[in-house]
Amino acid sequence: MRIAVLGPLEVTADDSAPVDVPDEGERLLLGVLVAAAPGAIAEERLTASLGYDGTAGVETLRSDVRRLRSSLEPGLPERSSGQYVLRRGSGYALAVPRGDVDALRFTDLAARGHAQLAADDADGAERLLARALGLWRGEPYGDWPDATFAAAERHRLEAVRAGAECDLAQARELLASRPEAPREIPRPVRERVWLTEDPPVVVPVEPQAPETETSPAEVLQEDHGTPDPGSAAGHPRSPARRQAILIGGLVAAVAVVIATARLSAGSEGAADRASTVDEANRLAGLSVTEDRLDVSVLLAAQAFRLADTSETRLGLTAAVDGHARVQRAVSFTGGPQDVDLSGSSTVTVGIGLSLVRWSIGPSTVPEVVMEVPREWGAWFVTAPSPVEGVLMGAGRGPDGSWLRMVSALDGSSRLLLEGDRVGGRPIDGAVTADGRRLLLLVAEAEAAPPGEASSRWHVIEVDVADGTTRDTGIAGSVPVPLEAVRADFADHSESVVVWADNPTPSATLVQLADGTQTPVATRPRPVGIGGFRATPTGAAALWDDGLITLVDRSGVIVQEVGAQRWSIRDVAVSPDGSWAVSAGYGGEIFRWDVEPGTGRWFGREPLAGHSGGVVGVEIDPTGERLVSVSVDRTMISWDMSPGGARESTGPEDRLASACLIAGRDLTRAEWRSYLGDRPWQATCSDLG
C-alpha cells in the first residue's frame, strides 16, 4: 500500500492499482493517521482532529475506522482489523512502511542528503536531495486546506523542503566547481575512480544495457592493468603507428589508417568497460537506498561482481558490516500482522487472509501455507507450540468462539473447541513447554451500572490432543467493554498480564502457579501506552515515546528504560533471562543485557536491518536465534549466540557474507528493474 499526500491524496495498492477511498470522513481519518505516522494517535486526539464530540464522537470514529479498513482492503471480514489501520494502545496507527508514505520518504531522503553534504559527499547529496524534491506533486495535504493538523504538517514539510532546496543548490555548486576531464577519447577503466570525473547520478529510471557485453572477469582483469607511460589519453601506441613515424609516402598513409582502426576498436572496448563500471557504481549507490535488506545486499554484491571499484567496495562494506548478527533476510509482499515462532525455525505471519510460513534455512523463502477460511470469522489469538510448525489458533465466527490446532507445515487444521465450550471471547494464549496443554484467557461481558462497562476474564487449560478443558479457577474483572480487554502470557507460561485498553490503562500481573494477582504500577505520563508484556521477572509497560517501564513480580517499578526514539511495539526475553530485545517503529531493534536478580536492563546493542516499524520479535527455545518481522516487508533471522556477530575482512569475504544473508540471486524481475536489458547473471548461486 502506497499513500501520497505531497499533493492531492493518492492511495495505490502494491501492484500500483488505485485504491478508492470515497467517503470524506474516511479520507480525513486517513490524512490524520498519515500525519501521525509512524506513531499512534490517541482516540481522543483523533476525535478532536475529526471534529467529533463526546461518546457519540467515539462511536462515529470507530465507524469511520471500520469503513476505512474496508476501503483499503475490500472483502475484509467484519470485525477484522486488517493490516493497515491497527489499534495501538488507546488509539490507532497506520501500519505501512515509511518508504510507502511519500511525506515520510521525503523527510528521510532530505535528512540523508543533508548528512551526505555535511560529509563532503556532494554526489550522494545531489542524488538523494533530487529524489526527495521529486516526490512533490503540489501542496501537501491539499485535500484539507483548513484542517489544523494539515496546516501544521504543511508548515513542517515546507520548512524541510526549503532546507533541501538550499542543500541541493549547494551540492550542485560544489559539483560544478570540479575540474572537468576531457571527454573526446574515453579513458581506460583503471583510471575511472571518480577522482576527476563525476559519478553517475543515481535516479530511479530504467537503466540501458551497453551495446556490447563485458564480462566481470574482463572488467577485473582490465581494472588492474598498467598504462603505457608514453600513451596518449591513456591508450598505448600501436606498432603500426610507431612505424608510420619512420617512413613516408603511401606506406605512412596506410600505417595511419591501420592505427586509426586499432584506436577506434580500443576506444569502443574502453567505452564498453567504462559503461560497465558506471553501471556497477550506480548499482552500489542504489544498494544504500534500498529498504529491503536482502535486496540491498544483493545489489551491493552484484555491483562488486560487475566491477571492483572503490564505489562498489564501499557499497559492499556498507551492506554487510552494519549487519553482523543477521543470518538471513527475506522479502515478502503485503502488510504483516503478528509474528510467531513454533519450534526453533518455523516463522508464521498473518498477512491479510493468508497465513505465511518461513522455514528458516540457507535458501528458503516465505510462502503462503493456507488461506484462512472466511467462515472462521476473526482470528484473535495465535499461540505457537514448541513442536515445529504447530500453532494453536482461537477466534470468533458466526457460530461463536472457536479453538483450532493449525499446522504451519501443510496448512491443515483440526477443530478442538467451539461455541460455549470455549467459555468466552479468546484474548491470549500460551502453550506449555511440553507442548501438551494450552492456557487460554477468555472474557465475557458482565453486568455493570448504566453508562459503565465491565468484563469478566478467566483462564482455562486445554488438552491439545483431545480438546478436554479444565477451569484453572484463575479469574478477574476489567472495567472496560469486552473488545478492550487485553492480555499477554509470558513465553515460559508462568504468568500473564491483563489490562484495559483505554486512555488510562491499568494492568494486573497474574501468577499462574497460585493465581496471585498484583496491580502493575506505572507513573502517569503525557503519552499513550502501547500495551504490556509479561516477563520472567515481572512485566514491562511499552510507551508510545520509546520508554519501557519494568516492574517486578510484586508490581513495583524496577527501572524506566529510555529504550528507543519511537513507539515500542514488542519486547522479548531470552529463555535463560540473561538478555532481552526491544523493538518498535522506525525499524529499531536493540539487544539488552539483563542483570540477574533485579531484572534491570543495561548495555544496549543496536540490531540494524529493518527500515520500517517492527511488528514483533520472537526468540527460539535455545536462546541463540531471534526472529523479527517488519512492515518494510522483510523477515530477519539473527544470530544471538555468544560471539554470533560475524566479522568480514576484505571484499571477497564481504561478498560471501552478502550472499549468506540473501541466500539467493537477484530474481529476473529485480534484475530488469535495476539492470534493464543487461543479460541476467547469477549473483550468488555460482560462487559455490
Give the integer Cα–Cα distance in Å for 440 and 459.
Answer: 6
Spans of the chain below 70 pLDDT: 79, 178-272
> In this structure, are residues 228 and 188 in contact, taking their beta carbons and an 8 Å threshold?
no
Q: How far apart are CA 304 and CA 153, in angstroms?
A: 41
Nearest to 73 by CA among 415, 81, 666: 81
Per the document, the length of the chain is 688
Give yes or no for a contact between 508 and 515, defined as CB atoms under 8 angstroms apart.
no
> CB neighbours (10 Å) of residue 105?
20
Question: In the chain, what is the straight-line distance between the N-terminal and C-terminal CA atoms, in Å?
Answer: 38
CB neighbour list of residue 380: distance below 8 Å, 6 or more residues apart: 394, 395, 396, 425, 426, 427
| CATH-assigned architecture of domain 1-178 | Orthogonal Bundle (1.10)
| Calpha distance 254→244 (Å, rounded) | 8
Among candidate residues 235, 243, 293, 290, the one with its CA nearest the CA of residue 265: 235
Looking from the CA of 347 toward its CB, the CA atoms found within 13 Å total 33
The answer to whether the beta carbons of residues 527 and 549 sit under 8 Å apart is no
CA distance 325 to 579: 15
Where are the extended beta strands (E) located within 373-528?
378-384, 390-397, 400-407, 413-418, 425-431, 437-446, 454-463, 469-478, 485-489, 495-500, 507-511, 517-520
Nine cell digits for residue 540:
514491562
Domain map of the chain by residue range?
Answer: 1-178, 189-324, 373-489
Q: What is the pLDDT of residue 179?
A: 58
CA–CA gap between residue 636 and residue 297 (Å, rounded):
13
| Residue matched to cell numbers 493497515 | 84
pLDDT at residue number 652? 92
Rounded to an integer, what is the distance from CA 106 to the centroid of its chain? Answer: 17
Which of helix, strand or coil describes residue 429?
strand
- In whole angstroms, give the CA distance from residue 318 to residue 303: 13
DSSP 179: P
Torsion 637-642-643-645 (CA) sign: positive
C-alpha span between 56 and 308 (Å, rounded): 65
Q: How far apart are CA 568 and CA 571, in angstroms?
A: 8
Question: Cβ neighbours of residue 17 under 8 Å, at least 6 residues apart?
Answer: none
- Sign (positive or negative) of CA dihedral 564, 568, 574, 577: positive
Q: How far is CA 130 from CA 109, 133, 315, in A?
A: 9, 5, 20
Nearest to 508 by CA among 494, 523, 522, 518: 518
Q: Which amino acid is at 540?
A: A
Closest CA to 429 of 388, 397, 465, 457: 457
Alpha-carbon distance of 358 to 354, in angstroms, equals: 13
The Cα 321–Cα 323 span in angstroms is 6
Return the pLDDT at 182. Answer: 37
* Gap between the Cα atoms of 408 and 367, Å rounded: 10
Residue 271: per-residue pLDDT = 64
Tell me which residue of 487, 515, 366 sits closest to 430, measured CA to CA. 487
DSSP annotation string for 554-622? TS-EEEEEE--SS-EEEEEE-TTSSEEEEEEGGG-EEEEEE-TTT--EEEEEE----SS-EEEEEE-TT
Task: Work out the burial of residue 172: count CB atoms within 10 Å of its CB; fewer than 13 is exposed, 13-18 middle, 19 or more buried.
Answer: middle
- Exposure string of 363-378, with b = 16+ CB inside 10 Å and e = fewer, is eeebeebbebeeebbb
Q: How far are the Cα atoms of 207, 363, 680 from residue 272, in angstroms, in the given order?
A: 15, 34, 17
Cell of 402: 472457536
Residue 6: partners with Cβ closer than 8 Å, 6 or more residues away: 102, 103, 106, 135, 136, 137, 138, 140, 157
d(CA 244, CA 321): 55
**Which residue in 553, 525, 524 sits closest to 540, CA to CA?**
553
- From the CB of residue 173, how many other CB atoms can be counted at a distance below 10 Å? 10
- DSSP label at 80? -
Residue that the C-alpha cell 591513456 belongs to: 234
CA distance 502 to 205: 48
Residues 590, 637: contact at Cβ < 8 Å?
A: no
* Chain segment 308-350, per-residue pLDDT in tens: 998 899 889 888 888 889 999 999 988 888 899 999 999 999 9
Q: What is the pLDDT of residue 380?
A: 93
Q: Quote the CA–CA distance of 414 and 69 in Å, as a whole number.
A: 30
Q: Give per-residue burial for 616-646: e unless 16+ CB within 10 Å, then b.
A: bbbbbeebbbbbbbbbbbbbbbbbbeeeeeb
What pTM did the predictor assign?
0.66
* Beta strands, E only, 248-366: 326-331, 336-342, 346-351, 354-359
| Cell 564505489 -> residue | 311
**33, HSE (Cβ side, Cα atoms, 13 Å):** 27
Task: Report pLDDT digits (tens) over 65-77.
Answer: 888 988 988 888 7
